[in-house]
A and B are shown apart, each in its own frame.
Chain A
């Protein structure tokens, strides 16, 4: 059992960052959110095109995703900015954030009689949180409190042979040696490997749920009337040598290792507070799956990439690992950990796992990831149905 240095929260969670987020509830508040975050030191904007004219399943999903980020373990406090009366309600969101013990503020552009007044209020609220957050100190915490997010990005044929093995090794080290949790996602990227994956479920119920969700995705894709190739695998996957979604999937599943699966949870749902490996049911679309896992509360994410990727998240640091020596050389800014010596050199997968684990633990204690040094973050909520 190890320890890391984290920020304790009133709700019992522990953060590896101490962020102030400024959250938009609708597209018409996005500019005010961006401007607020530009002015206030360390404030992070969360914007999106949703939150209005959505059907109920999408409203719930949008709300859950926003709340999950605003109450993420790495978040100190949140300023919510709404445009007007929206189906994703700003006051309700701010109240739910406050229930976790986090400072929160709700600002409504209509009620403030315009953007300039709203901006004034939002900047004041965010400044107060940012300053208070800066005064909080890290304290030693049990490593078992951590949740390890896992995602792949621009996979190629090196992914399943090298970096995904290191990723699995590091994730299972957190689970088995420290009692932590891990979560991977991207259900359509189970195609072709779902039977073996489902066999790893801890119960018959979970086994069947995995198979049903995979079949549901295949059905949804068939209903489009088109061959999914081009969308899965993507053109960059195919450039990297991946031929079909099955090949991509069988490689992708390597990053989950071969241990038991505790459960498969809904998109953006909270990852259960019990040690083990979990699945979140998300599309393979990286920005959407990473956003889902961010909402679920993973403290950090290892992004196991073939060709390199900018993929990142507003509140969850992303550590990029590749085993492709050409990618490590081409995009060093997207290569936190280069384990290619385990693929084309004389090193082993155990060595690669150690390299990745060591970097993860440094990031947990506060070292910036490469994405963080460039202030990168993307946020994309998966949609279920139409706008209305």
Chain B
């Protein structure tokens, strides 16, 4: 029976939103579309925060609502807390524009990953 307090919005998402406080070491069952996925929780994840429901590599697209919410900035194994320490945005990146790397182009990145 999947944990109703771990919500994955769309089947292609790779993060779940915790609607309860989740503790490191728990084994949880997450419904990802029709699939029931068993995951070992790596970090404490507080109410409202997210955990990975699959193994992610540095640079991978983080998906929620079926869309990109940014990119992993390091390898993120399943069960790991996913937040500002390991994900970066593709928008409003004046820091990248200033470095001459070019910021996220809104129209281009929206349709992509």
Contacts and interface: CB of A to CB of B under 8 A. Distances in A.
Given A195-B111, A246-B67, A250-B69, A229 B92 contact: yes
B92 A195 contact: no
Contacts of A188: 92
A241 B17 CA distance: 9
Contacts of A229: 84, 89, 92
Nearest to A162: B19
Contacts of B17: 157, 161, 241
Nearest to B108: A215
A217 B64 CA distance: 23
Chain B contact residues: over half helix, strand or loop, or mixed? mixed
A197 B97 CA distance: 26
A193 B48 contact: no
A247 B64 contact: yes
Contact of B70 (A160, A161, A193, A244): A244
B71 to A, nearest CB: 9
Among A229, A231, A245, A247, max chain B CB count under 10 A is at A247
A67 B5 CA distance: 47
Contact of A232 (B7, B92, B98, B110): B92
Contact of B97 (A222, A324, A326): A222
A227 B48 CA distance: 24
A241 B20 CA distance: 12
Contact of A250 (B67, B84, B97, B103): B67
A157 B46 CA distance: 11
Contact of A218 (B18, B47, B103): B103
B92 A245 contact: yes
Contacts of A250: 64-65, 67, 69
Interface of B: 5, 7, 9, 17-20, 46-50, 62, 64-65, 67-70, 82-84, 87-98, 103-107, 109-111
Q: Which 6 A-B pairs have the closest CB atoms?
A: A228-B92, A241-B48, A244-B89, A247-B69, A218-B106, A221-B92
27 contacts: A157-B17, A157-B50, A160-B65, A161-B9, A192-B90, A192-B91, A193-B65, A211-B106, A211-B107, A217-B106, A218-B91, A218-B105, A222-B97, A227-B93, A228-B91, A231-B92, A241-B17, A241-B18, A241-B47, A241-B48, A244-B84, A244-B87, A245-B91, A247-B69, A250-B64, A306-B48, A344-B19
Interface of A: 156-158, 160-161, 188, 191-196, 211, 214-215, 217-219, 221-229, 231-232, 238, 240-241, 243-247, 250-251, 306, 324, 326, 343-344
